[in-house]
Amino acid sequence: GAGVSQSPSNKVTEKGKDVELRCDPISGHTALYWYRQSLGQGLEFLIYFQGNSAPDKSGLPSDRFSAERTGGSVSTLTIQRTQQEDSAVYLCASSAQGRSYEQYFGPGTRLTVT
């Protein structure tokens, strides 16, 4: 079946502009995660959605970062007033349940802030 998809695959933006990154999880998966990976680094957890519960935003690095998940499916990660240090690959993952179940990752969005 279809996996996790993300768009765009690449995004180049100027410092100070806002960007929106989209994630389409696997159909039926109730849990959705956002991570980012800077060059040569491991993954950094950003935010987690589980069903209709309030999201776990504990990993968001600043208030310029926000995310929504509409209708329990598609999610959008928004970065306002982008900075050069925001340049990274942003990865989305979904899972069938939550903590104990394997996560399926999308291909990521490579964000470059110039």
72 near other proteins (CB under 8 A): no
Token pair, residue 112, equals: 């470059």
| Nearest approach, Cβ of residue 17 and other proteins (Å) | 25
Task: Quote the CA–CA distance of 30 and 103 in Å, as a whole number.
Answer: 11
List binders of other proteins among 31-60 (CB under 8 A): 31, 33, 35, 42-43, 45-48, 50, 56, 58-59
**Could you say which DSSP state residue 42 is in?**
-
Is the alpha carbon torsion for 33, 51, 63, 61 positive or negative? negative
How many other β-carbons are positioned within 10 Å of the β-carbon of residue 25? 27
Q: Which stretch binds other proteins (CB under 8 A): 10-18, 64-72, 78-86, 98-106?
A: 98-106
What's the CA gap between 41 and 43, in Å, rounded?
7
Closer Cβ to other proteins, 77 or 91, answer by number? 91
**Nearer Cβ to other proteins (57/64):** 57
Q: Which residues bind other proteins (CB under 8 A)?
A: 4, 31, 33, 35, 42-43, 45-48, 50, 56, 58-59, 91, 93, 98-100, 102-108
